[in-house]
């Protein structure tokens, strides 16, 4: 590995194209796909029909993109499904089974308040394994390692953890007691604790420490529950004596969901560093690979999250709100001012680790009002000089601090982290 690894941004005419995102961006051993709406690429319109037709179109678009880069659906590591109506999940699952049979990727499902294009009922994005790597990496026979444990809730249509190369992705964990299969008793604090216990049980089952988590995504049905969630959260992070000494917390995004499966109040998924790698990488590499957590005073800091956590060939950034780092308050002004501030915060973090915005491979945007997307897009393109990253946009019912927008990102890291230089 070296610092000349090249980002591969690709589009196919056989799937919907957008001027403000790339369908798939590969870097090192992963591909990130933009959120796919139920759009027929021939008409560029949302397909006619119900949720079944729309889910089929979304997954067909993903399959088409994957096949255009000489991959197959079994190379998918993680799927995220955004629904307008959580009760549509049964119909989506019936379609989903046609695309994934023997192997099931990790998965997160949430209901959101709005999606781009009014008639869309569903949006799906994905992360794909990329065994060939990107130039000048030589192709290698990296193997996905998909595992479940009885100590955490099992799901018939997803795998608890899928490792590939130097990362594990963990399926979203609901506050379900694995012994009973039911939601735990209590409120959001107890539910948050159960979600994190489930993640910890999954990690223990594959002999990975809890503090190897580099990114946490928390989905809440009531943003006012944030303080209760944080109270439970801080009993899990930092986890080890070493992490407590340095005050390590992973990057974090907290999102409002309109609804969650099983009427849960909270759901949590995680991205985990994996020093062991997957075969044929050597197990003994594990304890030599270093997580690099960085904060800069040029962007808002949080006691509960690190601005960016690098591991191997990626940096995962915490969600950025439109907060002025000097005042610690939301910027004044409309959506244009707030979008600019979010992107300025991301740029400040990216620059602080000697990267630039064109190293971003994936952007996730949350909007309080989906109609604001045009104003956001006017600003968005001014932050990138070359190929645009993959992108997913959703509308949410609320954002922390009553902001209008929140943005997070995944950044390529060609230099890697020691000893992968």
Residue 141 and residue 114: Cα distance in Å, rounded? 40
Q: What is the pLDDT of residue 368?
A: 98
Q: What is the pLDDT of residue 244?
A: 87
Q: What is the pLDDT of residue 3?
A: 62
CATH architecture assigned to 291-416 = 2-Layer Sandwich (3.30)
pLDDT mean across residues, the chain: 95
- pLDDT (tens digit per residue) in 17-45: 999 999 999 999 999 999 999 999 999 99
Instruction: Say what angle helices 51-68 and 89-96 make with each other, to 10 degrees.
Output: 40
Residue with tokens 């290698």: 140
Question: What's the whole-number mean pLDDT along residues 163-188?
Answer: 97
Q: Which two tokens stand for residue 320?
A: 């950025």
Q: What is the pLDDT of residue 373?
A: 97
Q: What is the pLDDT of residue 288?
A: 66
Question: What's the whole-number mean pLDDT along residues 188-204?
Answer: 98
On the 0-12 / 13-18 / 19+ scale of CB atoms within 10 A, 301 is middle
Question: What's the whole-number mean pLDDT along residues 260-285?
Answer: 89
**Closest-CA residue to 323 (of 400, 216, 388, 228):** 400
CATH 3.30.1330.40 fits 143-279, yes or no: yes
Asked if 85 and 54 touch (Cβ cutoff 8 Å), the reply is no
Angle formed at CA 132 by CA 291 and CA 39, multiple of 5 degrees: 95
Whether 205 shows a pLDDT value over 70: the answer reads yes
Question: What's the whole-number mean pLDDT along residues 186-201?
Answer: 98
Predicted confidence band of residue 421 (pLDDT cuts 50, 70, 90): very low
Whether 311 shows a pLDDT value over 90: the answer reads yes
**Closest-CA residue to 319 (of 350, 266, 364, 272):** 364
Q: Which two tokens stand for residue 1?
A: 């590995």
Residue 78 and residue 199: Cα distance in Å, rounded? 16
Indicate the pTM of the whole model: 0.97
Whether 248 shows a pLDDT value over 70: the answer reads yes
Question: What's the whole-number mean pLDDT along residues 288-311?
Answer: 94
Residue 379 and residue 20: Cα distance in Å, rounded? 11
Q: What does the domain layout of the chain look like in residue ranges?
A: 1-142, 143-279, 291-416
Residue 235 and residue 144: Cα distance in Å, rounded? 32
Q: Which CATH number fits domain 1-142: 3.30.1330.40, 3.40.50.280, 3.40.190.10, 3.40.50.720?
A: 3.30.1330.40
Predicted confidence band of residue 284 (pLDDT cuts 50, 70, 90): low
Predicted confidence band of residue 157 (pLDDT cuts 50, 70, 90): very high
Residue 266 and residue 288: Cα distance in Å, rounded? 35
Per DSSP, which regions of 156-302 are E strands?
Answer: 161-164, 167-173, 176-177, 182-183, 213-220, 251-256, 266-273, 292-294
Angle formed at CA 409 by CA 107 and CA 396, multiple of 5 degrees: 65
Question: What's the whole-number mean pLDDT along residues 92-97?
Answer: 97
**Closest-CA residue to 84 (of 26, 134, 143, 124):** 124
Of the chain, the percentage scoring pLDDT greater than 90 comes to 90
Q: What is the pLDDT of residue 4?
A: 79
Q: What is the pLDDT of residue 180?
A: 97
Run of H or E including 392: strand 390-395
User: What is the edge-to-edge ordering of all strands in the sheet holding 360-367?
Assistant: 292-294, 308-311, 314-317, 405-412, 360-367, 390-395
- pLDDT (tens digit per residue) in 98-117: 999 889 999 999 999 999 99
Predicted confidence band of residue 285 (pLDDT cuts 50, 70, 90): low
Whether 15 shows a pLDDT value over 80: the answer reads yes
* All residues at 6 or more sequence positions from 263 whose CB lies less than 8 Å from its CB, including other chains: 183
Question: What's the whole-number mean pLDDT along residues 296-307?
Answer: 97
Q: What distance lies between CA 175 and its chain's CA centroid?
A: 20
- pLDDT (tens digit per residue) in 359-414: 999 999 999 999 999 999 999 999 999 999 999 999 999 999 999 999 999 999 99
Run of H or E including 377: helix 373-380
Predicted confidence band of residue 286 (pLDDT cuts 50, 70, 90): low
């Amino acid at each position: 590995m070296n610092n000349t690894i090249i980002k591969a941004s690709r589009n196919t005419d056989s799937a919907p194209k957008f001027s403000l995102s790339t369908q798939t961006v590969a870097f090192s051993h992963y591909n990130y796909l933009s959120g796919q709406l139920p759009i027929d690429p021939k008409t560029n319109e949302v397909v006619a029909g119900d949720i079944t037709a729309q889910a089929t179109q979304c997954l067909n678009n993903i399959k088409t993109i994957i096949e255009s880069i000489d991959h197959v659906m079994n190379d998918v590591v993680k799927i995220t499904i955004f629904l307008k109506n959580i009760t549509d999940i049964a119909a989506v699952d019936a379609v989903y089974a046609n695309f994934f049979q023997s192997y099931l990727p990790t998965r997160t499902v949430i209901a959101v308040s709005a999606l781009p294009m009014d008639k869309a009922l569903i949006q799906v994005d994905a992360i794909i394994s990329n065994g060939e790597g990107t130039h000048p990496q030589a192709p290698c026979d990296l193997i996905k390692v998909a595992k479940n444990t009885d100590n955490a809730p099992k799901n018939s249509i997803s795998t608890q953890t899928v490792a590939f190369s130097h990362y594990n992705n963990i399926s979203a964990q609901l506050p379900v007691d694995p012994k009973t299969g039911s939601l735990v008793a209590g409120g959001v604090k107890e539910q948050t604790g159960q979600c994190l216990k489930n993640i910890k049980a999954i990690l223990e089952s594959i002999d990975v420490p809890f503090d190897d988590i580099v990114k946490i995504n928390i989905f809440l049905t009531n943003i006012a529950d944030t303080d209760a969630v944080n109270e439970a959260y801080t009993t899990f992070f930092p986890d080890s004596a070493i992490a407590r000494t340095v005050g390590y917390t992973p990057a974090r995004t907290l999102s409002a969901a309109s609804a969650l499966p099983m009427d849960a109040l909270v759901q949590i998924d995680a991205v985990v560093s994996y020093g062991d790698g997957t075969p044929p990488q050597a197990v003994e590499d594990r304890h030599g690979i270093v997580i690099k957590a960085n904060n800069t005073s040029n962007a808002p800091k949080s006691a509960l999250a690190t601005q960016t956590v690098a591991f191997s060939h990626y940096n995962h950034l915490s969600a950025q709100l439109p907060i002025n780092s000097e005042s610690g308050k939301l910027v004044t002004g409309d959506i244009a001012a707030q979008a600019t501030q979010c992107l300025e915060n991301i740029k400040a973090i990216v620059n602080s680790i000697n990267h630039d915005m064109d190293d971003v491979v994936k952007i996730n945007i949350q909007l309080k009002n989906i109609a604001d997307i045009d104003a956001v897009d006017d600003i968005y393109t001014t932050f990138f000089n070359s190929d645009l990253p993959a992108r997913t946009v959703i509308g949410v019912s609320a954002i922390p601090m009553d902001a209008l927008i929140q943005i997070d990102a995944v950044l390529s890291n060609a230099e890697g982290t020691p000893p992968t230089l």
